Structure 1
Amino acid sequence: MSNQSLKLALLATAAGLVLSACGGSTSSPGSAGPITLGGGGGGGGTPPVSQNFVDLVPGDDCQTGTVRSTLDLTDGQSNIVGQVEACTISGTISANLTLEAKNGYALSGPVFVGEDGVANVSLTIPAGTTIFGETGQDYLVVSRGSRLNATGTAAEPIIMTSIEDVLGTVDPINDRGLWGGLVINGDAPINRCIDATVTPGTAGCERSGEGSSGLYGGGNTAHNAGTLEYIQVKYAGNLINNDDELNGIAFQGVGSGTTCNHIQVHNNADDGVEFFGGNVTCTHLVLTGNGDDSLDWTDGWQGGAQRVLIQHAGGAGDQGIEADNRSGNNGATPFSDPTISNFTFVGQDGDIGILVREGTRGRIVNGVIVNFPDAGIDVDNDLTLQHLQSGELSFASILLDNSVNVLSGDSGETVDTNAIITNSPNIALGNNSLSDGYFPGNRENVIPAVDVSMVAGFDNLNFIGAFSPTETEDSNWAQGWTFGLFESPTECPTGTLSTGDVVGGKSICSLSGTITDNVRLNNNFAYELQGAVFIGIDAGSDPAAPAAGADTAILTIDAGTTLYGAQGEDYLVISRGSQIRANGTATAPVVMTSRAEVFGTADLANDRGKWGGLVINGRGPINRCIDGTVTPGTTGCERSGEGSSGLYGGGTADDNSGNLFYTRVSFAGNLINNDDELNGIAFQGVGSGTQVDFVQVHNNVDDGVEFFGGSVNVKHLVLTGIGDDSLDWTDGWDGKVQYVIIDQADGIGDQGIEADNRSGNNDVTPRSNPTLSNLTFVGGTGTDIGVLLREGTAGDLYNGIITNFDEAGFDIDNAATITQATTGNIALNSMLISGNAEDLRSDGDTTAPQLAALANGSNNQLGGNVTDFAARPVGGDRYAPGTAEAAVTATNVNAVDSFFDVVDYIGAVEDANDDWYQGWTLLVDQ
Structure 2
Amino acid sequence: MKKAILTTMVLTSLFVSSFAQTSEFFNQVNYKGAFGQTNWLKGWTALDHYSYLAPNKIAANTITITDASINAGDKVFWTADNVYLLEGFVFVEDGAVLTIEAGTVIKGKPGQGESASALIITKGAKIFAEGTANNPIIFTSESDDVNDAFDLVLPSTNLWGGVIILGNAKINTSTGIGNIEGLPVSVKSEYGGSDDNDNSGVLKYVSIRHGGTDVGSGNEINGLTLGGVGRGTTIDYVEVFQNNDDGFEWFGGTVNCKHLVAAFNSDDAFDHDEGLTGKMQFLFAIQDENFGNALGEHDGGTDPEDGIPYAFPQSYNVTLLGSGISSANADNDNGFNIRDNWGGLYKNSIFGDYVGIAMKVEDLATGQDSKQRLDDGQIVFQNNIWFNFGGGNDFDALGKNAPEKEYLKNVANANTIEDPQFAGISRTAYSELLSPTVSSGSVAYNNLASYPDGDDFYEVVNYKGAFGQTNWLKGWTALDHYGYLAPTKTSSNVIEITDADINAGDKVFWTANNTYVLNGLVYVESGAELNIEAGTVIKAKAGQGESASALVITKGGKIYAEGTGVNPIIFSAESDNVNDAFDLVLPSTNLWGGVIVLGDALVNTSTGMGNIEGIPVDERSAYGGSNDNDNSGIIKYVSIRHGGTDIGSGNEINGLTLGGVGYATTIDHVEVFQNNDDGFEWFGGKPRCKYLVSAFNGDDAFDHDEGIRSPMQFVFAIQDENFGNAFGEHDGGTDPEDGIPYAFPQSYNVTFLGSGMNSANADNDNAFNLRDNWGGSYKNSIFGDYAGIAMKVEDLATGQDSRQRLDDGQIIFQNNIWFNFGGGNDFDALGKNAPEKEYLKNAANGNSIEDPQFAGITRSAYSESLDPRPTANGAAYANIADYITSVRKLDNIAIASNYVLSQNYPNPFNPSTKIQFSVPEQSHVTL
TM-score by length of 2: 0.45
Q: Decide which structure has the larger Cα Rg and report it.
A: 1
TM-score by length of 1: 0.45
